[in-house]
Structure 1
């Protein structure tokens, strides 16, 4: 009976997270289109994505420490309320402001979402281990969140585009805010995790981020460093998605929705592949991270070629698949192979690696686009990413992470 109840909880929490994600991407699509429509400046678009991701460089470390000290459930609930408040700010910015003031409020809303998301993702990664019965269930369940996240990314942008075209941006941003209430109500009233299994840290040096870095082992340290470098080189497409869609398909919000949905479809396929091979690939970080980085880099080089829109969408699909495997794969590796008492801080270090690197990557790519043009930027950064993936496959293909820790 307990096992059946836990399985239902896992499904319920996963679905609530997916619905919230769909609303979030509807809101982000609306904000991106508004900023693009108002300025046509790629740096402003990159700043929008950077404000969503760069807070992780400052916040994820303290979020991991707090999660390991206070407990994942308490931090997770508080983070969801923070996400709701920040999304409400974006919704009310439309009717109460215009021009530069409206843009500033939208960016402030995104900054709030990025900050709260760092706490939410860190706490959730540790929390899901309290919903599984055996260590073998943890990897597939963790990667299920990548799949459901990308399903939301597939559904959300066209929904946001349709709402923009039919009713304007206010409804899209209001939907974003409302969907955060779903995981909040689920956590407060429907979940009964194995809280007794959670291992917490005490105050002091033993609870620090530096201690987690030292104690996680050389294999996981390599995973974090490689992911940070790979994201710095190749994880810039979310910030430039409106510009990429405008170049390939056209400037309308519906076409932006189509482009981001194709990227999401690739992410779903990559996530499903990773989920089905989670236990196998989770032991071979060199193969997993090298292939993901290589596919992403080659696709970015392909996107630089002046061919048809269909070709561009095919490359966007591969970019989605490669980056999904890179990010979800990193999360899989550092959670499954880290001791339970370190998992909050390891989740924080993982976010610093891929979201912090991605935010800087977007700003760098925007600057290169302004200086050298769209095609030159994608060709240069894609080539660097492909070379990095080949190096990882050649140098680290034999690296294995054999040790497994219990879920509790």
Structure 2
């Protein structure tokens, strides 16, 4: 089938297989940590704080990581980061196994995960173009990678919900630790021939500035990254507050939280499947606008949902829109960025997505604590509509913006 056409490439097939297994464990751990923190503290703010610590390094380190990845062997970087992430998961599993419920160390391990992920995600995204020999299959490979991520988001939380209710959080962490064996095994079986770029002799911070200058001369790329940053700050943090919807608003248990995460995974999975069916060169800007609108409207509907079933449906639709938006932006950047600047361009995307998100999570967690979760989530949806309006306005008047930028310079 054409939807799976990128799987005909040996290296990508191995990458896809390893990720399929490992990501289930990753999502189980994410759900277990969120539930554990909220169960122990009952604080929406601390829930946002742990998310903040796990993602904030991407804001600070992503541009540096992009320059570093462009200078070094991205495959070796990926192997190293996966080993460290496996050890981090093992440390967390041991701590919870021995019932050492220390919020400080849980937060510290989340910070370690964030530091490593700043390099891991950049290397993984930059490597994607080297896993498929036929570049016509690259958009399909990116979309399938998103689909396996979101399929894991569907399966992982569902399993986590059952395990949390029966066996406890520690089993979720142990499963995640073991799942890294699959991804490391598949990576070591690959047969990659990476083109050696001439290593820059300039200071790495000079390379970083070149990446910023490149984006300034590429307004289509920059506008998408700015849109992603605004969404990460004001809209996407609704996902951090899902445990509050499950436990407090709908008086549920860990299983109910698993339903919310699985609903999000279900919607995002279908969004990824849709993206995988697209042919190379289709109008991605249009998809970005429509998907961002779906995200914003669904988040508003989630905030005012009177029943659990309706809230789950809205969560799924919001995740579908979010997935299509992020995948479209990712695909556009990967297919339009210069080869020598791809790592740096993607690092700014990662900074805008995963780096700004923790700030948004912390802010929205604090505002939810002060003003109520439903009111804050409704605000996030309205903010999403304003972001789409700003992007559409820019697209219609971008020639004027470019002329003004040239005259200023």
- The verdict on a shared fold, with TM-score over 0.5 as the criterion, is yes
Taking a change above 3 Å as real, the CA distance of residues 200 and 233 of structure 1, as seen in their structure-2 partners, is: farther
- Which residue of structure 1 lines up, in the alignment, with residue 341 of structure 2? 342
- Alpha-carbon separation, structure 2, partners of 1:24 and 1:179: 8
Q: Is the 8 A contact 2:26 2:176 kept in 1?
A: yes
Choose 213-222 or 317-326, whichever is displaced more: 213-222
Other-structure match for 2:297 = 298
Q: Which residue of 1 aligns with 2:320?
A: 321
Find the residue that maps to 2:356 and give its secondary structure: helix
Which residue does 2:19 correspond to in 1? Answer: 17
The match for 1:204 among 193, 202, 216 is 202
Q: Supply the distance in 2 between the matched residues of 1:271 and 1:399 (Cα, whole angstroms).
A: 29
Is contact 2:14–2:187 with CA below 8 Å preserved after alignment? no
SS in structure 2 opposite 1:98?
coil
1:310 and 2:309 aligned: yes
Does structure 2 retain, via aligned residues, the 8 Å contact 1:248–1:312? Answer: no
> Where do 1:221-240 residues align within 5 Å?
221-240=222-241
| Change in CA separation of 1:4 and 1:210 when aligned onto 2, cut-off 3 Å | closer
SS at 1:181 equivalent: helix
Give the distance between the partners of 1:382 and 1:10, measured in 2 at CA: 36
Could you say which residue in structure 2 is the equivalent of 1:121?
Answer: 121
**2:265 aligned partner:** 264
Instruction: Give the TM-score normalised by the residue count of structure 1.
Output: 0.90
Secondary structure of the equivalent of 1:251?
Answer: coil
Q: 1:298 to 1:247 in 2, by over 3 A?
A: farther
CA change 1:167–1:306 in 2 (3 A) is: closer
State whether structure 2 residue 94 is matched by structure 1 residue 112. Answer: no
Cα gap change, 1:292/1:106 in structure 2, threshold over 3 Å: closer, same or farther? Answer: same
> CA–CA distance in 1 between the matches of 2:103 and 2:370?
24
Instruction: Please state whether the residue corresponding to 1:307 is helix, strand or coil.
Output: coil
Q: Partner of 1:185 in structure 2? A: 185
Instruction: Give yes or no for contact 2:288–2:328 (8 Å, CA) kept in 1.
Output: yes
The residue that corresponds to 1:252 in the other structure is 253
Distance 1:5 1:39 in 2: 44
Cα contact 2:126–2:342 (8 A) shared by 1: yes
Offset at 1:393?
3.1
Once residues 224 and 370 of structure 2 are traced to their aligned partners in structure 1, the CA distance between those partners, rounded to angstroms, is: 33
Aligned to 2:172: 172
For the 8 Å contact 1:25–1:152, the answer to whether it is kept is: yes
Aligned structure 1 segments of 4 or more residues deviating by more than 4 angstroms: 3-6, 397-400
Structure 1 range deviating more: 310-319 or 89-98? 89-98
Structure 1 distance, partners of 2:318, 2:305, is 17
SS at match of 1:180: helix
Matches within 5 A, 1:280-295: 280-281=281-282, 283-285=283-285, 287-295=286-294
Q: CA deviation at 1:192?
A: 0.7
Structure 2 match to 1:386: 385
Equivalence for 1:56: 58
CA distance in 2, matches of 1:145, 1:35: 29
What is the SS of the residue equivalent to 1:208?
helix
Q: Per the alignment, in what secondary structure is the counterpart of residue 367 of structure 2?
A: helix
Q: 1:145 to 1:370 in 2, by over 3 A?
A: same
Gap regions ≥5 residues in structure 1? 401-408
Q: How does 1:136-175 map to 2 (within 5 A)?
A: 136-175=136-175
Return the alpha-carbon distance in structure 1 between the equivalents of residues 123 and 294 of structure 2.
Answer: 30
**Structure 2: how far apart are the matches of 1:318 and 1:247?**
22
Pair 366,134 (structure 1): closer, same or farther in 2 beyond 3 Å: same
- The Cα of 1:70 is off from its aligned counterpart by 0.8
Q: Quick one: which of 72, 79, 82 aligns to 2:84? A: 82
Map Cα deviations across residues 126-158 of structure 1 (whole Å, 9 max, x no partner): 112112122211111112111110011111112
Inter-partner Cα distance in structure 2 for 1:200 and 1:184: 28
Contact 2:60 2:355 in 1 (8 A): no
Q: What secondary structure is seen at the aligned counterpart in 2 of 1:54?
A: helix
Q: Distance in 1 between matches of 2:22 and 2:32?
A: 16
* 1:6–1:131 contact (8 Å) kept in structure 2: no
From the superposition, tell whether residues 181 and 238 of structure 1 become closer, same or farther in structure 2 (CA, over 3 Å): farther
CA drift of 1:306 comes to 4.4
Secondary structure of the residue aligned to 1:51 is helix
